[in-house]
Amino acid sequence: MFAKITSGAVLGVQSYLVHVEVNATAGMPSFYMVGLLSAEVREAAERIRVALKNVGLFIPPMHITVNLSPGDLRKEGCAFDLPIAVGVLTAAGFIPQDAAKGVLIIGELGLDGEVKKMSGVLPIVRAAAAAGYTRFLVPYENIAEAQAISKATVYGAKSLETAIAWLKGEEPPAKDAAACAPKQVESDQTGAGILDFADIAGQEMAKKAAVIAAAGFHHLLLIGPPGTGKTMIARRIPGILPPLTEEEALEVSSIYSIAGLFDSQEALMKNRPFQNPHYTISAQGLTGGGRIPRPGVVSLAHRGVLFMDELPECNRQVIEILRQPIEDKRVQIARASGSFTYPADFMFLGAMNPCPCGYFPDQSKCSCSAKDVKRYLNRISGPILDRIDICAEVQRTTIDSLNHESGGPSSADMRHQVNSARRVQEKRFKKSNCQANADISVKDIPLYCRLGEKESCLMAEIFRAMNLSARAYHRILKVARTIADLADSEDIGEEHILEAVHFRLSDGRYW
């Protein structure tokens, strides 16, 4: 008999449907599998044979052929164990022929018949739902992420026996009868448990830069002596960003599901991701690695924040890799198995000391020569600096600021400012693909960043005086647009341009 079961797989960060075709006929007992399979997929034959035996199901001697279609895409992972087992049982007559019709099945089997948790469930279910599927059989521990897709009827199987019972419309085994979906946990966006800016004494200019960066999703570089609060500021920025939209939450959750980092108790991620890799990270760790590359740190930071502390200490090659994702909001990786594109739309935050000892230009404390300082700063190349919208100096804190009872505005106050500016941008970009001011394309600059006669003359003077590149010129305009939004101003004024230039000039003090 012949059986056809629908399953799915992930290639890079893209998902596609896989049809498991099983043909069982009388003849010499054998179990052949074809369809451009990896070693772990081929090993499924032995796992399934032992699992069926251990749950009390004995397949009579038959010639079994399994084909995983499409045949030109390589199949990897253990997600095909359960659909192949269901296909074999259907072809052998243990399950009705139409029981699995219209059902997407994925899951890894243990030798005792247990259906194990796996990665990549959410993007597979999402792709299947887009193809019209509404019923899904997934591992019990993956129920929450599968249920994140609206109009999806999801059943979670703890064991092969439970899966068979559900397909046949029977009651599950007594040991699995109490199984239910995990409780959905809503992420906190009220501010409770989030690091607060009120804990930081002084640093008003750096805090203002953080608000501007969060409001427009601009890239930010913090530079200053050690112990002044650069890392504290960076770690608090996710707390003032607006929550993910439903579509963004699906994107981010899918990436984390593929990477095997998704919380099984959470339906969807609500908070924006915050990635803080150590400065010894490799190029492969940053962009993604492996024969079939898995998402790297820049993709795990998608729609959130990528914070790189001690930036000049990173490998020069690693820093330069950031050029493409910062500019294009994606990463392209070429391997022998194909070319892969991963999303990487993040806010870049960098923090660094101005010299090896950290105290330049304070001559009373800095022990570095001019050559040492120049060599250290030149670890951050001009092209990278040109892509950073805001550079803010973080100065040493005074004793008066430390002894003051309040550290200034709280994260809740700053979040309110950011959300107000984002609402203005949401209205502005209603008919475009932009989500924040940082997304404005070059051709749309005249539309969204219109300047009056005085402002145009001012920008012309600034362009000549600072010897700006075209990219830097446009980034100043986008930052000025955000500053105007925070001031609830429809037009970009001279004061908004000058403030944007002030944050651009900070790097001129060092480079």
User: Residue 56 is part of a domain; what is its CATH number?
Assistant: 3.30.230.10
pTM higher than 0.75? yes
Q: Is-contact 407 198, C-beta < 8 A?
A: yes
Residue 242 scores a pLDDT above 80: yes
Residue 180 scores a pLDDT above 60: no
The confidence band for 176, taking pLDDT boundaries of 50, 70 and 90, is low
Residue 336 scores a pLDDT above 90: no
pLDDT at 274: 96
> Range of 379's domain?
197-433
pLDDT at 386: 94
Q: For residues 392 and 296, state if they share a domain.
A: yes
pLDDT at 403: 72
Question: Could you tell me what percent of the chain has a pLDDT over 90?
Answer: 77
Q: For residues 235 and 157, state if they share a domain.
A: no
More confident: 398 or 8: 8
The confidence band for 118, taking pLDDT boundaries of 50, 70 and 90, is very high
- What is the average pLDDT across 321-328? 94
pLDDT at 175: 67
Q: For residues 301 and 390, state if they share a domain.
A: yes
Q: Would the CA dihedral through 404, 406, 411, 413 be positive or negative?
A: negative
* 454 inside domain: no
Q: For residues 137 and 272, state if they share a domain.
A: no
Last residue of a domain, one of 370, 403, 433: 433
Q: For residues 157 and 214, state if they share a domain.
A: no
* 498 inside domain: no
* 485 inside domain: no
Residue 185 scores a pLDDT above 80: no
The confidence band for 57, taking pLDDT boundaries of 50, 70 and 90, is very high
Q: For residues 16 and 122, state if they share a domain.
A: yes
Q: For residues 325 and 288, state if they share a domain.
A: yes
Residue 210 scores a pLDDT above 70: yes
More confident: 70 or 293: 70
Q: Is-contact 68 20, C-beta < 8 A?
A: yes
Residue 304 scores a pLDDT above 90: yes
Q: For residues 314 and 415, state if they share a domain.
A: yes
What is the distance between the alpha carbons of residues 258 and 119, in angstroms, rounded to a whole number? 5
Q: What is the pLDDT of residues 229-240, one digit of tens each?
A: 999 999 999 999
More confident: 406 or 52: 52
- List the one residue out of 394, 351, 401 whose CA is nearest residue 207: 394
Q: How far apart are the first and last CA of the chain?
A: 74
Q: How many CA atoms lie within 13 A of 408 on its CB side?
A: 15
* 486 inside domain: no
The secondary element (H helix, E strand) that includes residue 212 is: helix 204-216
Residue 179 scores a pLDDT above 70: no
| Across 41-55, 180-194, 477-491, least confident range | 180-194
Residue 192 scores a pLDDT above 60: no
pLDDT at 183: 40
Last residue of a domain, one of 366, 399, 433: 433
Q: For residues 124 and 9, state if they share a domain.
A: yes
The confidence band for 182, taking pLDDT boundaries of 50, 70 and 90, is very low
Please tell me whether residue 314 adopts helix, strand or coil conformation. Answer: coil
- What is the average pLDDT across 96-109? 95
* 487 inside domain: no
Q: Within 10 A of 60 (CB to CB), how many other CB atoms are there?
A: 9
The confidence band for 507, taking pLDDT boundaries of 50, 70 and 90, is low
- What is the average pLDDT across 270-284? 94
* 490 inside domain: no
Residue 166 scores a pLDDT above 60: yes
* 300 inside domain: yes
The confidence band for 117, taking pLDDT boundaries of 50, 70 and 90, is very high
pLDDT at 337: 67
Q: For residues 17 and 77, state if they share a domain.
A: yes
Q: For residues 242 and 156, state if they share a domain.
A: no
Last residue of a domain, one of 144, 176, 208: 176
Q: Is-contact 83 21, C-beta < 8 A?
A: no
Q: For residues 158 and 209, state if they share a domain.
A: no
- List the one residue out of 220, 216, 217, 240 whose CA is nearest residue 230: 220
| Domain CATH number, residue 343 | 3.40.50.300
Domains in the chain, number? 2
**108-109 and 30-34 strand pairing:** unpaired
* 327 inside domain: yes
Average pLDDT in the chain: 90
Q: What is the pLDDT of residues 346-360, one digit of tens each?
A: 999 999 999 999 999
Highest mean pLDDT among 76-90, 141-155, 385-399: 76-90
pLDDT at 494: 97
The confidence band for 181, taking pLDDT boundaries of 50, 70 and 90, is very low
Q: How many CA atoms lie within 13 A of 417 on its CB side?
A: 24
- What is the average pLDDT across 257-270? 82
DSSP single-letter state for residue 380: S
What is the distance between the alpha carbons of residues 247 and 162, in angstroms, rounded to a whole number? 33
- List the one residue out of 408, 410, 411 whose CA is nearest residue 240: 411
pLDDT at 400: 75
pLDDT at 177: 59
Q: Within 10 A of 190 (CB to CB), how many other CB atoms are there?
A: 8
- What is the average pLDDT across 318-338? 88
